[in-house]
Amino acid sequence: MAGRATGKNGSSIGSSGAQDATALFQTVNKQRLVERVVTDVQELIIQGKLAVGAKLPPERELAELLGVSRTVIREAVRILVTKGLLESRHGIGTTVRQVTRDQLVEPLGWLLQRNGADLDDLHEVRAILEVAIAGEAARRAGPADIDQLETILAQMQAQRDDPVAFAAGDAEFHQALAAILQNPMLAVLLDAVRAIMAEIRRKVSRYAAFDAVVLDDHAAIVAAVRGHDPAAARTAMQEHLLHAREFQRTLETEADPAGTKLSG
């Protein structure tokens, strides 16, 4: 019968079905081309071969260079703009954007909030990361690293009456401790924690004993780092995180059940 074909198993395939299958595979092929272009351009940006501010060739020229259609280029550019790697401006064209940590950190924070992470989850992550960081910092810290920790601690002492500045100094202290390890992945992870902790730190800083406890805890951590005592540094950080969690629980008792979830 015209318009029909027989498959290997004897089943027949109508002409309309063949057309649908062709369209389906064309869509898959196009998507793979888009992904390839996105990956290739992304790698050029990450490797620094496409510098910040560099202008991409016009759409037609780029399509010819990469051997794909202009539609594929258009979709790939749209994805890269959404990722924050490219920027398209009328009259200027498409250029490479400066990639900042916020582009990595903020989506992680939103994802955690959306998935219902709570303060116990946050405490567990901090205990896993920051206790180990404190121990390694004590082992690796040089004189300049210790001076920086002591400077931050002195600034926090002077900012006790300013909850916002004090909370910022608290975050800076933990970042400086992590920076001693010179591990960029840890820096990004701690940035994500800092972004989530910002509002929590601000809220708990209003408690009368909070600043004194934090300063004492930080002083104990600095003393252990100065003495190059990893075991003491880990213990001091564990105590600090337990104290922080106690203040957070006080905050939870004053809030409704939704207040136990991560926010802002």
Look at residue 150 in the predicted model and tell me its pLDDT: 98
Q: What is the pLDDT of residues 150-195, one digit of tens each?
A: 999 999 999 998 988 998 899 899 999 999 999 988 887 887 777 7
Residue 80 pLDDT more than 70? Answer: yes
Burial class (CB in 10 A: 0-12, 13-18, 19+), 96: buried
Instruction: For residues 29-53, give the mean pLDDT.
Output: 88
Mean pLDDT of the chain: 83
Among 9-13, 53-57, 81-85, the range scoring the smallest mean pLDDT is 9-13
Look at residue 74 in the predicted model and tell me its pLDDT: 94
Look at residue 31 in the predicted model and tell me its pLDDT: 81
Instruction: For residues 145-151, give the mean pLDDT.
Output: 98
Residue 87 has φ and ψ, to the nearest 5°, of -140, 125
Instruction: For residues 118-124, give the mean pLDDT.
Output: 84
Residue 64 pLDDT more than 60? Answer: yes
Alpha-carbon torsion angle 109, 111, 117, 119, nearest 10: 0
What CA–CA distance (Å, rounded) separates 150 from 226?
A: 10
Report the percentage of the chain scoring pLDDT > 90.
Answer: 48
b/e 13-45 (16+ beta carbons within 10 angstroms → b): eeeeeeeeeeeeeeeeeeeebbeebbeebbeeb
| Number of residues assigned to the chain | 264
Report the percentage of the chain scoring pLDDT > 70.
Answer: 78
Look at residue 101 in the predicted model and tell me its pLDDT: 62
Q: Does the predicted model carry a pTM greater than 0.85? A: no
Look at residue 25 in the predicted model and tell me its pLDDT: 56
Look at residue 134 in the predicted model and tell me its pLDDT: 98
Contact call for residues 157 and 166 (beta carbons, < 8 A): no
Contact call for residues 251 and 199 (beta carbons, < 8 A): no
Q: Which of 172, 247, 254, 261 is nearest to 211 (CA)?
A: 247
Look at residue 11 in the predicted model and tell me its pLDDT: 45
Q: What is the pLDDT of residues 210-248, one digit of tens each?
A: 899 999 999 999 999 999 999 999 999 999 999 999 988
SS3 readout for the chain: CCCEEECCCCCEEEHHHHHHHHHHHHHHHHHHHHHHHHHHHHHHHHCCCCCCCCECCCHHHHHHHHCCCHHHHHHHHHHHHHCCCEEEECCCEEEECCCCHHHHHHHHHHHHHHCCCEHHHHHHHHHHHHHHHHHHHHHHCCHHHHHHHHHHHHHHHHCCCCHHHHHHHHHHHHHHHHHCCCCHHHHHHHHHHHHHHHHHHHHHCCCCCHHHHHHHHHHHHHHHHHCCCHHHHHHHHHHHHHHHHHHHHHHHHCCCHHHHECCC
What CA–CA distance (Å, rounded) separates 65 from 225?
A: 55
Q: What is the pLDDT of residues 198-211, one digit of tens each?
A: 778 877 877 778 89
Look at residue 48 in the predicted model and tell me its pLDDT: 84
Residue 5 pLDDT more than 50? Answer: no
Q: Which of 237, 39, 56 is nearest to 137 (CA)?
A: 237
Look at residue 15 in the predicted model and tell me its pLDDT: 53
